[in-house]
A and B are shown apart, each in its own frame.
Chain A
Amino acid sequence: MHLKNKFDVGKFTILAEMQPPKGVNVSTMVNSAVRVKNMVDAFLVPEMGNAVMRMSSLGGAMILQSHGMETIMQVNCRDRNRIALQADLLAAYGCGILNIMGVSGEDPGLGDHHQTKAVNDIDLMTLFKAVSALQTGKDLAGNELSGSPSFLVGANVNARATGDALEKELSRMAEKTEAGVDFFIAPPVFDIGAIAPFLEKVDLKKTRIIPTVMLLKSVGMARYLDRHLNVTISQDLIKRLMRAPDKAVESLSIATKIISAVKEAGFSGVMISAMGWEDKLQKLLDMV
């Protein structure tokens, strides 16, 4: 059963982020994924997050698919023009990739190739339009395709927004849904209460929202996320991590509880971001 069917029947889906390597040694990525293959519904393969150059999402996803795993290929507007984006979407579908996630892509200034040009030939909404066009058998220039893809399309949503920003986010979400987006990935959540304003406005039965659960690898990381990245992490949680004799075990225990809370809240699934602790995914999913 593919991810789309699992969504359709209302299964609580487990997604896991699987970063392709910076290089060609794919063994860590493949081994980490294979270990949890039967517990994960699909692996989200990022496309050079934070503008750090590494193996592309298309390459990483194809490698995982070749080992029998379903993937979500991330596509960004930063690195490719409309020709390359459409070409890669066709290539992906031709290679069996059924799920994609469109993102704008962070500015190269944040990454490891500061001097490069960002492409941004088309913006995110136009990318979704391109996907819709391909699915109806035409490219963005209106030319006929020989066979058309049929993707399950994802996008980001900032579930942490409040007030005016929340109104804008909901309007943007509606715009994305209209443009063909089927599911939304929300940023890391450590307390469901932190996204209560968002939950009041969204019907989880009608909109597929998948919050991210991030593994806290250290107290420093937790503090940084809380102070600088607007990810609300309670002092209690930070203290709990601080007092724990084994930080990794405690981190997995924290993540397990959040996953349970996400499931109870009625979300369509959860996206686990292991942040380099992909080797601990199996233990986490056993606990879940």
Chain B
Amino acid sequence: MIIADRKSLEEIQDMIKEYKKILLVGCKGCVTVCNVGGAKEVGVLAATLKIARKKDGNPIEIDEKTLERQCDPEYVEQIRDIFDQYDAVVSMACGVGPQFLSEAYPSQKFFPAVNTKFFGGAVQHGIWEERCAGCGTCVIHYYDGLCPIARCSKSLQHGPCGGSAGGKCEIAKDVECIWDTIVKKKMEQGRLEDLRTLRAPKDWQTARDGGPRKSIREELVQ
């Protein structure tokens, strides 16, 4: 899923400082699962902003709404009747949400309340880690299900780089060297020679480097 972190209260306050009435919109998708932009977090942020603004002698009215998904035009329609009743709309969805809202309601102003970080999952309660870089050409089968594109700091197809020590990456002591893990796994399975295969230079056209991407399923297009 998509992992996001909430922006700091100061940054959000600064974005909406000139507005008196806003709509705060959450999303029941990924950001609910990673506890950053669901109904609960919408409530917490709304209350915090109202208290902060009241304390500053500049009270703000905030209505709350959490959509099934902000990345689907069908659900984005759920604010059609109310979107223009506000000075601005703040989205707590990933970066897709405020853009879908902007496109659906061009006359309104939209602000993001979260920073979209990566595709990943929870490794323990409260900790999420990156697992996929969305490069568009999955190669994890070459590396026993571990992705060096997303998880190696240098996205090496032929690692390790020589900068790792004790299974940790040279960029920080708390970052796993995924190549260390890949090599260990291959050794345990007696298949280290798999890594001798020289891979072709990666085709980055399917990643973001080839420009904005689109996925078309002809059978679903009406």
Interface residues of A (CB under 8 A from B): 107-109, 114-118
CB-based contact A107/B211 at 8 Å: yes
B210 beta carbon closer than 8 Å to chain A: yes
CB distance from B201 to the nearest CB of A (A): 7
Interface of A is mostly: loop
In the assembled complex, the Cα of A23 lies from the Cα of B204 at a distance in Å of 25
Number of residues from B at the complex interface, CB < 8 A: 9
CB distance from B169 to the nearest CB of A (A): 20
CB-based contact B211/A115 at 8 Å: no
In the assembled complex, the Cα of A118 lies from the Cα of B207 at a distance in Å of 11
CB distance from A105 to the nearest CB of B (A): 13
- Beyond A109-B211, A115-B203, A118-B209, 5 additional contacts (C-beta under 8 Å) are A108-B209, A109-B205, A109-B210, A115-B201, A116-B209
Q: Once A and B bind, how many residue pairs between them come within 8 Å at the CB atom?
A: 19
CB-based contact B211/A114 at 8 Å: no
CB-based contact B211/A116 at 8 Å: no
Residues on A with C-beta less than 8 A from B211 are 107, 109
Residues on B with C-beta less than 8 A from A115 are 201-205
Residues on B with C-beta less than 8 A from A114 are 203, 205
Instruction: Show 19 residue pairs from A and B whose CB-CB distance is below 8 angstroms, ordered by the A residue.
Output: A107-B211, A108-B209, A109-B205, A109-B210, A109-B211, A114-B203, A114-B205, A115-B201, A115-B202, A115-B203, A115-B204, A115-B205, A116-B201, A116-B204, A116-B209, A117-B204, A117-B207, A117-B209, A118-B209
In the assembled complex, the Cα of A109 lies from the Cα of B204 at a distance in Å of 11
In the assembled complex, the Cα of A65 lies from the Cα of B205 at a distance in Å of 37
Residues on A with C-beta less than 8 A from B204 are 115-117
CB distance from B61 to the nearest CB of A (A): 39
Residues on B with C-beta less than 8 A from A118 are 209
Nearest 10 pairs of A and B residues by beta carbon? A115-B203, A117-B209, A117-B204, A115-B205, A115-B204, A118-B209, A114-B205, A116-B204, A115-B201, A109-B210
